[in-house]
Amino acid sequence: MSNYILLEIEGKHLESAYSVYIIEVNNKENNKESKYYYIGQTGDSQYITARSPLRRLMGHLTDVKSSTQNQIFKYFAKELLKNRKDANEPYSGEEKQKIESFFVKSTIKMYSFPLKEFSYNANKKDHHEKRKQVVEFEKQVIKLFKESGKILMNKNMPSNVNDTIQFVEEYNEIKRLFNL
């Protein structure tokens, strides 16, 4: 038996694009299987950037308390550390170990749906227009998952969602992949 872990990253996992992505955490503990979903999008509201799928996934799993990118880690911290005394304190080693143990007993999948090409030379107007379209699609996908009764890790649920689907092919593929 080999004593190493091979993590193979394809180049497309590092390609920036305006995308909607779905992260699925499938946990198998105590002979029970639980699936959790996070729906997100790439395209920053302040800077001209749209991070790659791998960079977004890494951001979501970081244990840095002050990070604003790690909503998945924070979701499980809140779920697993319910009796935490001071929510503003950095996570202790024991707390990080508890969350890591949960992840070790899980499989994490990320489905990324590139919707618009990204260019580092884009102007702000073009960036904001593409981002606006992707954000609207993200809301539509969140609504689809929420209405299906799946466990969502998203902190914010959209209230005003446009019913006109712009990215029909991707929407139908998401419905097919997740039995929605």
Structural domain contains residue 89: yes
DSSP H helical segments within 15-123, as ranges? 53-61, 71-80, 93-104
pLDDT of residue 85: 66
Reported as a pLDDT band with limits 50, 70 and 90, residue 65 is confident
pLDDT of residue 22: 98
Range of the domain at 43: 18-177
Q: Give the separation between CA 73 and CA 90, rounded to whole angstroms.
A: 13
pLDDT of residue 83: 73
Reported as a pLDDT band with limits 50, 70 and 90, residue 1 is low
Reported as a pLDDT band with limits 50, 70 and 90, residue 122 is very high
Report residue 72 as tokens. Answer: 């998945």
Structural domain contains residue 108: yes
Reported as a pLDDT band with limits 50, 70 and 90, residue 60 is very high
Structural domain contains residue 70: yes
Asked if 51 and 154 count as a contact pair (C-beta separation under 8 A), the reply is no
Total of domains in the chain: 1
Please tell me the pTM assigned to this model: 0.92
Structural domain contains residue 4: no
Structural domain contains residue 1: no
